[in-house]
Chains A and B, each alone.
Chain A
Amino acid sequence: MTPSPNSPNSPNSPNSPVTVYVPRDSAARSVGADAVAETIRTAAAELGRPVDVVRNGSRGMLWLEPLVEVVTPEGRVGYGPVAPSDVAGLLDAGFLDGADHPLRLGVVDELPWISQQLRVTFARIGITDPLSPEDYERHGGLVGLRRALETPPADVVAEVTESGLRGRGGAGFPAGIKWKTVLDCADELKFVCCNADEGDSGTFADRMVMEGDPFMLIEGMTIAAHAVGAREGYFYIRSEYPDAVATMRAAIEIARENNWLGDRILGSDLSFDLHVRVGAGAYICGEETSMLESLESKRGLVRAKPPIPAIQGLFGKPTVVNNVLTLATVPVILANGAKAYQELGVERSRGTQVFQLGGNIARGGIVETPFGVTLRQLIEEYGGGTRSGRPVRTVQVGGPLGAYLPTSMLDLPMDYEAFAAAGAMLGHGGVVVFDDTVDMAAQARFAMEFCAAESCGKCTPCRIGSVRGVEVIDRIVADEEREENLALLEDLCDLMTDGSLCAMGGLTPMPVRSAIEHFPDDFLAREGTA
């Protein structure tokens, strides 16, 4: 192996180290990013070529992971997906100088998949070293917090309200209105809680924020604390995300060292500290009242509302509960003003949404664009259709409680109200694609099975209804009194929708009914059917 000669104008002279980015995101690690980073370090050292390997977040082009980027005079040139066995050849080809190679993708910022997006919340993710406070400030970090700290709390709340930011956790409740309720409470003790339970299959944006830009989330929490008068905040992170837990804990330590947390933050009057709590494998603990119970170290039983958590939340005190993406978007709103954010989007869905393309999709990952983009654009233009190459048959949007949509509905714009009107739900922005081998009766059965497994058990429609749902679907598919059982299933869905304490039981009928409505043939008897 010989290193290729450096061009004279290259900043990468043989003596100054070349900066190489290899993501530390757990999706990238799941396909070998650690081994790639290590191989690059050792192989470059053997060549006597100094490299500085930075473990960045992921750009969200997950099908290209591990995506390695090299800093060159033209910009950051990407290569991917890179396997450890590719590294020798890449070095031979001169990839440390951005040279050509079959895995060379070009300057990453100029790739259409990225350049067509509008990254607002995800602006820094994949670009910076997630745990470098210097990187964070260099790329616009803390601008929002500094501005907030100079602004009276009520004006910060007003700014968030005017931005049109709605909760990204699923329900789409306006964030500013929730904050105002907490601000208006007179209590000494108030809390800010970040819901990082991200239980929905098909969603991973919260994870990528925590692993890829944790200071942004800390900044958002701190702005929320200033806005509502809280001094203490909690992250509730699911145990399935060990990397996110470790990164958030490390980031909190660094933030404390830099006085971004603690007493008199950045010289202001605000004192605020954050703590990480880890979930224990219960989907229901993503429901906000169940999460609060779990934060109190109780069984994750859903609370009846009212009282709402904004008035009686954690340990009975006024509490802001917001999703990761909601809180992560607050700093940029404060930095650039409500208007800049509010100008994006459609109708009552303002700003951008971080869509997550998953399942059977050729180019899965993060697409952040203003609301109003259609499902078809996401799946065909960004996603490139199925990974299997077979036709798309259905798309489940909004997690396990979201509807299964047929391809005839792909022109639906991504907008909370448009989805609700179509009997569907945008939820947390997860888009899961299935090809034509999917069995929709099996998916409907799974929705009930999942509800039975994950119900907190407090209310009967959810706890028992879901078990009955599985049985009834089994009978329908076995052709036992089909018509009667279909009617029974409809009844059961009505009961669960109307009678459940929370959206766990209340929305489980959505995937079930949409499957029956759009794919009735899949519920015919099985013998002899293909």
Chain B
Amino acid sequence: MTTSVDDVTTQAAVSAIVAAHRGQRGPLLPIVHAIQAEWGHVPQEVVPLLAQELNLSRADVHGVISFYDDFRREPAGRTTVRICRGEACQAVGAGALVTCARDRTGLSPGETRADGSVTVDQVFCLGNCALGPAVEVNGEMLGRMDTDRLRSILDEAVAS
């Protein structure tokens, strides 16, 4: 998903994505979602392209993209671990999971290892509040997580 982005192909791909969403009311957000789905992040180069295609100012486009936590400026690691830090998960040890991730990877929430192996993120609620603590690994939600299991997930991710 995190392929490199060169000018010509970016432009063509962005145009295709825009064309696919143009009929919707207020299409920018669905378009940015589609871009992130394509490249794994939202490359800075798309801002002027989107501005031009949608007849918006660059500042508007940048403003929207930067408002939302989901949109990454840089590609994520090969494994992304999102730890739920909502209150319900805090009540059953989410804090210990954050500490465990930091100990094992050196990462605080929001950071990616220099070798591109792992990204650790935090999320405020995955809606799994009765089976916490919840963690999402590459989009798959795992309930009743504990530090041993998280450590082995991270061991594998760091080695990959």
Contacts and interface: CB of A to CB of B under 8 A. Distances in A.
Contacts of B27: 297
B124, B125, B134, B142 pick with most chain A CB within 10 angstroms: B125
B86 A201 contact: yes
A29 interface: yes
A204 interface: yes
B104 to A, nearest CB: 21
B87 A30 contact: no
B155 interface: no
Contacts of A361: 130
Contact of A280 (B33, B126, B131, B141): B33
Contact of B130 (A63, A315, A438): A63
A465 interface: no
Interface stretch (B4-12, B63-71, B111-119, B146-154): B63-71
A322 to B, nearest CB: 19
A280 B124 contact: no
A199 B125 contact: yes
A69 interface: no
B128 interface: yes
A297 B127 contact: no
A237 to B, nearest CB: 11
B92 A315 contact: no
Contact of A297 (B26, B86, B131): B26
A39 interface: no
Contacts of B129: 201-204, 356, 358-359, 364, 430, 432
B68 A282 contact: yes
B59 to A, nearest CB: 11
Interface string A13-34: 0000000000000110111000
Contacts of A438: 91
Given A201-B87, A202-B87, A359-B132, A240 B29 contact: no
A27 B90 contact: no
B123 interface: yes
Q: How large is the interface on B (under 10, 10 to 19, 20 to 34, 35 or more residues)?
A: 35 or more
Interface string B92-110: 1000000000000000000
A102 B14 CA distance: 57
Contacts of B131: 27, 30-31, 62-63, 65, 364
Contacts of A433: 91
A136 interface: no
B86 A400 contact: yes
Interface residues of A, number: 59
B127 A204 contact: yes
A468 interface: no
Contacts of A129: none
A453 B121 CA distance: 14
B135 to A, nearest CB: 9
Interface in A285-318: 294-300, 315
Given A280-B29, A297-B28, A359 B88 contact: yes
Given A280-B71, A298-B64, A359-B91, A203 B29 contact: no
Nearest to A434: B91
Interface string A349-385: 0000000111111001100000000000000000000
A300 B64 CA distance: 8
A400 B63 CA distance: 27
A396 B64 contact: no
B29 A277 contact: yes
A432 B94 CA distance: 14
Contacts of A200: 125
Contacts of B71: 280
B33 to A, nearest CB: 6
A446 interface: yes
Contacts of B123: 240, 281
A200 B124 CA distance: 8
Contacts of A359: 87-88, 91-92, 129, 132
Contact of B128 (A27, A300, A357, A387): A27
Given A62-B130, A450-B124, A396 B68 contact: no
B76 interface: no
B139 to A, nearest CB: 7
Given A201-B124, A240-B123, A27 B29 contact: no
B24 interface: yes
A435 B91 contact: yes
Given A297-B64, A358-B130, A30 B91 contact: no
Nearest to B66: A299
A26 B125 CA distance: 13
A272 to B, nearest CB: 15
B60 to A, nearest CB: 8
A26, A62, A202 pick with most chain B CB within 10 angstroms: A202
Nearest to A388: B92
Contacts of A388: 92
Interface string A406-432: 000000000000000000000000101
A202 B88 contact: yes
B22 interface: no
B64, B71, B132 pick with most chain A CB within 10 angstroms: B132
B26 A30 contact: no
B128 A299 contact: no
Contacts of B88: 201-202, 358-359, 430, 432
B89 interface: yes
Contacts of A277: 29-30
A199 B67 contact: no
Interface in A263-291: 275, 277-283
B150 to A, nearest CB: 14
6 contacts: A31-B131, A198-B125, A297-B64, A359-B92, A359-B132, A361-B130
Interface of A: 26-27, 29-31, 62-63, 65, 198-204, 207, 239-242, 275, 277-283, 294-300, 315, 356-361, 364-365, 387-388, 396, 400, 430, 432-435, 438, 443, 446, 450, 453-454
Given A204-B127, A241-B127, 15 more contacts: A63-B131, A200-B125, A201-B89, A202-B86, A204-B129, A240-B123, A277-B29, A278-B30, A282-B69, A296-B25, A297-B30, A358-B130, A359-B91, A438-B91, A443-B87
Q: Considering the complex of A and B, which 3 residue pairs feature the smallest CB-CB distances, nearest first?
A: A364-B130, A201-B86, A358-B129
